[in-house]
Amino acid sequence: MNATTLRHAAMLVAAIIITNLAGIIGSLFTAPNIPVWYAGLEKSSLNPPSWVFAPVWTILFILMGISLYLFWREGLERPAVRIAIVAFAVQLVLNTLWSILFFGLRSPFLALIEIVILWVAIAATIWLGYRVSRPAAYLLVPYILWVSFAAYLNWTIWVLNP
């Protein structure tokens, strides 16, 4: 392996670790509240079983990490790359904040407001990232689709649990 290949491999691993750390932080607020609080909430008939969320989010965080890597490898000296990465970082922080609001504070209402902002941030990341790396932007499409579904689930929990 040459130095460039090793550098890119390290960048890919780092990007996947960064995105998964966001998921791990969110899970610190989520996991303890599933059997205690979340299990007792009224939910939509479309709500998947709780065990579905961990594998789906793991896959999404890996795709997000690959996306981040694809942005990053385009070169931080390019302003468009830096802007796409900043947008990516904002949506990643918002992703973690949703878990804190919904599960940590047990506030479906605040989480609903926040998930709308998160959705806009993901859409902005896809739009800004498309100009940097189309594959990176496409890798975020399953994420925005899942967050769209999560927003619906969040809304139904808010409505059904006044």
At residue 108, the pLDDT reads 98
At residue 7, the pLDDT reads 96
In terms of C-beta distances under 8 Å and separation of at least 24 residues, what long-range contacts does 108-112 make, across chains too? 108/154, 108/157, 108/158, 108/161, 109/158, 111/154, 112/151, 112/154, 112/155, 112/158
Nearest to 93 by CA among 12, 157, 22, 6: 22
At residue 84, the pLDDT reads 98
Considering its fold, how many domains does the chain have in total? 1
At residue 130, the pLDDT reads 98
Containing structural domain, residue 113: 3-41+49-160
Work out the percent of the chain whose per-residue pLDDT is above 90. 99
At residue 1, the pLDDT reads 79
At residue 131, the pLDDT reads 96
8 A C-beta contact, residue 15 and residue 66: yes
Reduced to 3 states (helix: H, G, I; strand: E, B; else coil), residue 96 is: helix
Max intra-chain CA distance, the chain: 59
Cα 76 to chain centroid, rounded: 22
Chunked mean pLDDT (size 10), the chain, 162 residues: 94 98 97 95 96 96 98 97 98 98 98 98 98 98 98 98 93
